[in-house]
Amino acid sequence: MSNKFLVELSNIGKHYSNGDTEIRALDGVDLSIEKGEFLSILGPSGSGKSTLMNMLGCLDKPTEGEYQLDGKNVAALSANDLAGIRNQKIGFVFQSFNLLEYASALDNVALPLVYLGIKAKERRKRAAALLEQVGLGDRLDHKPNQLSGGQKQRVAIARALVNDPQIILADEPTGALDSKSGAEIEALFNQLHAEGRTLIIVTHDNSLAERTKRIVTIKDGKVLSDRQGQHCST
């Protein structure tokens, strides 16, 4: 496979058995993503987009086909190796934020560094810098119940960035937000893209998808189309 691409999926299939019935959640998916791309994976519930997200995020392995991430064949890796990739190469952003309610914003952002063996002082330094970057430098000690939905998502984005990942993978990142907060999160993603980050947004929201650079539409486990976003800036 080419060294040009950060991500390459070749004839990816994911099949499940339901009694005597085989469910093909993904079927013959081919997808290549270059470093620094900003794209969306668009599809309704049941289209296979969540299965594809789990595949891209190394949360699951394909039944068939090959997934190369930064030159490594993901399908051949052990569970421990996959966990290492998730911790070091991928930053996750979720619709429901997935923050620890009892922990401060600073501690939530620093948490992934614990698993990498980073010392406490360095963890706090990195987390504080990222919270400053996402506009929450004055909210370091606030717990999630003291933050708005938009602020919680900013904390989640800072957490996703703390291990300096190669890919940011965001699942419906504006789905739980009002329109103003959603627009602010989109602006933050655009800023990260301008910095050269690779961003993949998984969504059912056509208007959100149109504001990314590239739209990959999934239906019935297959890639239906792959095109440029209508409203992307050059």
pLDDT per position as a tens digit, 162-190: 999 999 999 999 998 999 999 999 999 99
Residue labelled with tokens 């290549």: 32
The DSSP call for residue 228 is: E
- What is the radius of gyration, based on Cα positions, of the chain? 18
Residues near 66 by beta carbon (within 8 Å), at least 6 away in sequence: 1, 8, 9, 10, 11, 12, 73, 75
159-to-105, 108, 130 alpha-carbon distances in Å:
9, 7, 8
Domain count for the chain:
1
Q: Is residue 11 part of a domain?
A: no
- pTM for this predicted structure: 0.92
Q: Is residue 102 part of a domain?
A: yes
CATH number at residue 193: 3.40.50.300
Q: Is residue 44 part of a domain?
A: yes
Pairing relation of β-strands 222-228 and 214-219? antiparallel
Q: Report the C-alpha dihedral over residues 199, 52, 227, 232, rounded to 10 degrees.
A: -30
Q: Is residue 104 part of a domain?
A: yes
Q: Where are the alpha helices (DSSP H) in the chain?
A: 49-56, 79-89, 105-114, 120-133, 149-161, 179-194, 206-210
Q: Is residue 75 part of a domain?
A: no
Q: Is residue 30 part of a domain?
A: no
For CA atoms 71, 130, 101, 40, the dihedral sign is: negative
Q: Is residue 224 part of a domain?
A: yes
Per-residue pLDDT of the chain (234 residues; tens, 9 = 90+): 456 799 999 999 999 888 888 889 999 999 999 999 999 999 999 999 999 999 999 999 999 999 999 988 988 889 899 998 998 899 999 989 999 999 999 999 999 999 889 999 999 999 999 999 999 999 999 999 999 999 999 999 999 999 999 999 999 999 989 999 999 999 999 999 999 999 999 999 999 999 999 999 999 999 999 999 875 554
Residue labelled with tokens 């993949």: 200
Domain range enclosing 152: 35-61+84-228
Closest CA to 201 of 32, 14, 57: 57
Q: Is residue 172 part of a domain?
A: yes
Closest CA to 164 of 99, 74, 91, 85: 91
